[in-house]
Structure 1
Amino acid sequence: MMVKKIYIVGDRFNKFADNENVVSVSKVESDLFKGSLNINGVVYELGQGVSAERVRHILVEVKKYPGLDKYFQFSEIEKSYKNLVHKFNVANSMITKPEKLSANRYRTDVYIDDQCDDIKDHITGQHIPGMALSEACRQMFLAVTELYYLRSQLFSHYFVINTSAIEYYKFVFPLDISINYMIDEFERKSHGSLKFSVTMEVIQAGKVCALVKYGFSTYESKFLHEKESEAAIKALRQDEEVLHA
């Protein structure tokens, strides 16, 4: 018998959930509670929009029914640590811990919580908003750099974006999403600074749906704060000169 995949998505993706083979997380939770979940010739996969907490809750409930776990083809979501993606609210973390493939190549899986800041006020159709994909890629360069380049540094540091560009090729829907990350250029500068040029591919169904490029640098926090203060004072003085002209 052919087995059909059904994707579980967050409630904010209600328009996408109207499609065949898609169901909202609230419907799954309700059917589990009532003991009326459809398991005839289906398996459940995790789409986008479901919080890590609700995924955990579903899997706990599934274990209460012997044999039911074989119909659920996913495990708990292990998102990047807060210090890797610079987010205090776990709902705003969008990626798993980056995996190192080679010296300059990394990958991650994307899990977007529909309660995150970049989603909850910006869903206008069935697809993932472009700004959410951009934020996932921003988190990727933070996480890779924090995990593989800055972990051994004893001082705190600060990221500065120098350039950014993104090209969208296809709609990205609330299904499996991954990011391929390539370091194009890397340079160690003075004062402990690091400079990167990177390219990222947003992948869905084996296709590149968006291409993202960032140029960014890291600085020792104390050094950058001094430079920032100098620039702020200079900007205020220039503003005063304009007022008195």
Structure 2
Amino acid sequence: MTGDPAGTELPRTPLPGSPRPETPDDRAFEGHTRRNVVVVADRFASFARGDQVLTMTDMLALITSGRPDVPGCHWVVHLGQGIDATDHDLLEAACDKSEAMVCLADPAASRQQAERPATVHKDRPENVLLAGVHSPSATHCQAELRIHRDNELILDHHTGEHVQGIVIIEAMRQICIAQFETAVRPALGPAAYAGVWKRIDLSFEDFLFPLPATVESLIEESDVSRDSHLKFRASTAVRQQGRGVATAVIEYSMIGQSRIDALERRKADQATRAYLG
């Protein structure tokens, strides 16, 4: 096993498209008061208070009704969780048609698409939790957290205003997979791989809210001597506006798909026989 000592602090490399709010040129606001608001998917309605945060439905209704046209006030709309490219286009079109002084913050970054499902070993696009995967170094991987409004983990869960912890855990799993597929996998042969988790040492430090956030992974140790069974230990973190939400040290293996299929089939047969006596 080789790598950095355990407990290595994750680098604070700026992430492209990071959640720090970006706004249009300040010259557009000369003589006007700027009001920043966030729009989230209707699924996060409990987080939307109607003053600083609005749901997609309420924001569209507000824009089309002309109600944001407060004298001397220019509204800037930031995109929270659950807002996809279609929602972005609807909001952009509504802003363009409205006579009110309202615009989207950082429209180009808002169009960034979630990663392909294969990059995080998922089948359905709505279950991908990462966008803009980026590796500033060979062992360090970063991405934006991107929660689709129809993600499987939020369809039937009551959390109050925060996003449930299982989303954080899955985002950490996905950043490890994405790091393997984008930074490690290209140097290997054509065989497919499956991730097998051995240990997760997880700490929750704060609530995660349906606002922009980042996910990071730093590989501390690795053993890649066997192509069919690659071993890793990584420190992962989820952050929101610079504050730590959760951290974890994860030990996992990436095993050749044909090998894991045979192993799983054998163990499945053993479990079935044991159950049936």
The normalised TM-score by structure 1 is 0.87
1:72 is aligned, of 105, 108, 119, to: 105
RMSD: 2.4
**Paired residue for 1:151, among 177, 182, 186?**
186
The correspondence for 2:139, drawn from 91, 104, 114, is 104
Matched residue of 1:4: which SS? strand
Q: Which residue of 2 aligns with 1:42?
A: 75
Match of 2:236 in 1: 200
List per-residue Cα deviations over 1:134-159 (Å, max 9, x = no partner). 11111111111111111353112211
Greater CA drift, 75-84 or 58-67: 58-67
Q: Distance between the aligned counterparts of 1:66 and 1:30, measured in 2?
A: 14
Question: For the structure 1 residues 67 and 37, does the alpha-carbon distance in structure 2 shift closer, same or farther, using more than 3 Å as the test?
Answer: closer
For 2:101 and 2:180, locate their aligned partners in 1 and report how far apart those are by CA, in whole Å. Answer: 40
Indicate if the aligned counterparts of 2:202 and 2:248 stay in contact, CA closer than 8 A: yes
Shift in Å at residue 38 of structure 1? 4.8
Q: Does 1:167 align with 2:203?
A: yes
Correspondence 1:14 to 2:50: no
What amino acid sits opposite 1:157 in the alignment?
Answer: Y
Question: Which sits farther off after the overlay, 230-239 or 15-24?
Answer: 230-239
Equivalent residue of 1:184, what SS?
A: strand
Whole-angstrom CA distance in 2 between matches of 1:201 and 1:89: 24
SS at match of 2:244: strand
Matched, 1:25 2:56: yes
Q: Which runs of 5+ in 2 are unaligned?
A: 1-31
SS in 2 for 1:125: coil
Q: CA deviation at 1:99?
A: 0.6
Which residue identity is paired with 2:205?
Y
Q: Which has the higher contact order (CA 8 A, sep 6+)?
A: 2
CA distance in 2, matches of 1:169, 1:185: 24
Find the residue that maps to 1:96 and give its secondary structure: strand
CA 1:12–1:233: 2 relative to 1, 3 Å: closer
Query: Which residue in the other structure is 2:21 paired with?
Result: none
**Structure 1 residues 192 and 212 mapped into 2: Cα distance closer, same or farther (>3 Å)?**
same
- 1:88 aligns with 123
Report the alpha carbon displacement of residue 126 of structure 1 after superposing the two structures with TM.
0.5
Tell me which moved more, 71-80 or 154-163: 71-80
Secondary structure at the residue paired with 1:134? Answer: helix
- State how many pairs are aligned: 241
8 Å contact from structure 1 (residues 81, 97) kept in 2: no
SS at match of 1:223: helix
How far residue 32 of structure 1 moved from its aligned partner, in angstroms, is 3.5
- Matched-pair identity in %: 23
Counterparts of 2:103 and 2:91, CA distance in 1: 13
Task: Tell me which amino acid in the other structure corresponds to 2:171.
Answer: A
SS in 1 for 2:118: helix
> Using a 3 Å threshold, how does the CA distance of structure 1 residues 213 and 21 change in structure 2: closer, same or farther?
same
What is the Cα deviation at residue 43 of structure 1?
Answer: 1.2
Listed as ranges, the gaps of 5+ residues in structure 1 are none
Residue 132, structure 1, aligned to residue 167, structure 2: yes
Contact 1:97 1:143 in 2 (8 A): no
Q: CA deviation at 1:226?
A: 1.9
1:115 to 150, 160, 163: 150
- TM-score, length-normalised on structure 2? 0.78
> In the alignment, is the contact (CA less than 8 A) between 2:237 and 2:245 conserved in 1?
yes
